[in-house]
Amino acid sequence: MCGIAGVVERGADVEQRALRLASLLEHRGPDSIGTYARAGAAVAQSRLRIIDLLTGDPPITNGDGTIGVAFNGEIYNYRQLRDELERAGRRFVTSGDTEVIAHLADDLEPVALCQRLDGMFAFALWDDRRRRLVLGRDRFGKKPLYYWTDGPRLVFGSEIKAVVADPAVPRRLDEEALDAYLTFGYVPTPRTFFAGVLSVPPAHVLTFGTDGTLRVERYWSVPLPGVDGCETLTIEFEEARREVRRLVCDAVDRRLIADVPVGAFLSGGIDSSSVVAFMARLSPAPVRTFTIGFDDRDGFDERPFAAAVASRFHTDHTEFVVEPDKAALIERLVDHHDQPFGDSSALPTFLLAQMTRQHVTVALSGDGGDELFAGYERFAAAAALDGVRRLPDAVVRATSRVVRALPAHLLGRRVGSVERVLSRADAATIDAYLSWLSYVPEDWRRRLRPMAPDGARTTYRQLWAASDGADRLDRLLHLNVRTYLLDDLLPKVDRMAMAHSLEVRSPFLDTDLAEFVFRLPPSHKLRGLSLKRVLKAAVRDLLPPSILHRRKRGFGVPLDRWFRSDLRSYVEGMLCGPDARIAHHCKGDSVRDLVARHQAGTNLGHAVWTLLTLEVFLRREGW
């Protein structure tokens, strides 16, 4: 893994500027730093050595030095690409994957270049003959890439901090991003909290010329049967099970390539356990596995489940039990995200990565399994909606009356979702999904910023509408990849792992596997309340029954209790004190009311966390 940064400004000496920006990303790549610079353009890289420890330090160029590449990530098919290029007469001076990109760029246009790459990546290349910068990002957005441009100039970096550190880039708050954050706990791609600083979308490539021309093009799309000519595979369940098993095994195998120690995060869930099962089959030595736990009474400790899997596969297992300095850690998390982040599972992810890095440089994870195989209970609820659609009107009306008559505590916040399902409207699915995404309940968001626009929800409804014609489950899976996976799960793992120079690889987000699974019949993935049906069948003989039939649990921390005990004074001082910056952007009395309601017993811990990380960020920026 690495950090990349650079500047294009015609007529300017930009090499030292690019190097300074890359030096801010040293946590992503502490082993070396280098730059490729030509008149008016420079691309720089801080490198973490994973493959090709001896000859792969930057700058990396093509044969005649007219193309320089800064690269973050791994190209899993680089050996096949290198063989092709060598047969065509290309000569290599390194043995890693970055040089493959430089040689491919000699002959291929940016879209075709990205289509040849299989992996997780963000790259920048300066083509001096064509006088253009090319920025490419992987299909799912596993590796981050941000940029700012005012027309004649462009600044880019792996993290926002590197972009806004350049003197050309203004640091201004995007108020509409704040509204989106209070809705979802993140700012949807391509926007950020910094006005004018954008993210290169996943599966896109950006081309920028010294004349100021900028083009952003898509090179791949998530398959969605029923839309744009994509069709559902005609395949029996047993054949699908065998193919899923083969593809998962191959995906794990590709991600074991490294010249440094490799391990795995192990939670004891189906996804991480499946990854470890295949690693154990493929690795001659015991697999290194790592689990984190909290010694508390709230049930956030997954160590017993992970230990059962570790025992099954005889892994070299390490457990971490932590009691962090919570207030200091919250501020560190904001520093590494460069903006507020509403998902509190970033905290245990940070600690797990920190401790795992003491033993290995690369860790495989189970991220993406829920997104491919329908692992969230909300997907089963969507399927239930289809069943409700087929019920007689009289039955639906009677059920609605029963739901409204139930005591409030039985359904809690789910009552709105149940009523939307019973409405049988197509909008019920997307409304329920958007409610699930939010860390701040909608009634509180409206109180916090009563006049705030609803742009983020509108954008997601447009994505939903564009998928009309596909099966409801396929539509939800497709939407989930383009929202929650992209802007919550993947940034969380990347930022928290790279804070400690740890590379994390995700076999379930393998291109071949994803393109197959997304086209499977929906019933192969979900039937009734049976989630991840085909994946469970594919690994049934490998995993213990207690793991296969375990109900999904989030990777969380006991926020509700923390905010009423250890962090009570910190929360009240930050959010309700006279220096609270959030009062300039939200109705101050509503913030105090929300905190007071939580302290009085209503569990609003996720909403408090969302506001707290926002406050830390606003204080850091002075906004």
- Averaged pLDDT, 464-480: 94
Do 2-218 and 222-554 have matching folds?
no
Closest CA to 143 of 96, 199, 213, 102: 199
Question: Considering the entire predicted model, what is its pTM?
Answer: 0.93
Strand segments, DSSP code E, in 286-421 are 288-294, 316-322, 362-364
What are residue 317's phi and psi, to 5 degrees?
-100, 135
By mean pLDDT, which of 206-215, 284-293, 379-388 is the weakest? 379-388
Mean pLDDT value across the chain = 91
Q: Does residue 295 carry a pLDDT above 80?
A: no
Long-range pairs for 392-401 at CB < 8 Å and ≥24 separation? 396/422, 396/424
pLDDT band at 423 (very low <50, low <70, confident <90, very high): very low
Residue 510's pLDDT is what?
98
Average pLDDT over residues 313-337: 92
**Residue 412: predicted pLDDT:** 46
Question: Is residue 503 within 8 Å of 351, Cβ to Cβ?
Answer: no
Q: Cβ distance 346 to 185 under 8 Å?
A: no
What's residue 424's pLDDT?
43
Of 34-48, 234-248, 287-301, minimum mean pLDDT range: 287-301
**CATH number attached to the domain at 222-554:** 3.40.50.620
pLDDT in the model for residue 435 = 85
Model pLDDT, residue 385: 60
64: DSSP letter: T
- Residue 507 C-beta-side C-alpha neighbours within 13 Å: 30
Q: What share of the chain is helix, strand, coil (3-state, %, to 5)?
A: 45, 15, 35
Average pLDDT over every residue of 434-445: 90
Spell out a b/e string for 493-507, using b for 16 or more CB atoms within 10 Å of the CB, else e.
Answer: bbbbbbbbbbbbbbb
For residue range 238-280, list pLDDT tens digits in order.
999 999 999 999 999 999 999 999 999 999 999 999 999 999 9
Does 414 have pLDDT greater than 50? no
Q: How far apart are CA 355 and CA 385, in angstroms?
A: 43
pLDDT of residue 557: 84
Domain boundaries along the sequence of the chain: 2-218, 222-554, 559-621
Summarize the confidence of residues 486-503 as an average pLDDT: 98
Is the domain spanning 2-218 CATH 3.60.20.10? The answer is yes
Please give the residue that has the higher pLDDT: either 590 or 293.
590
pLDDT at 456: 83
Residues 507, 251 contacting (CB under 8 angstroms) = yes
Sheet holding 41-47, edge to edge: 32-38, 41-47, 2-9, 153-157, 146-149, 198-199
Cα–Cα–Cα angle for 506, 509, 512, nearest 5°? 125
* Model pLDDT for residues 106-146, shown as the tens digit of each residue: 999 999 999 999 999 999 999 999 999 999 999 999 999 99
Report the percent of the chain where pLDDT is more than 90: 80
Among 24-38, 56-70, 381-395, 455-469, the least confident range: 381-395
Quickly list DSSP for 165-187.
TSTTS---B-HHHHHHHHHHSSP
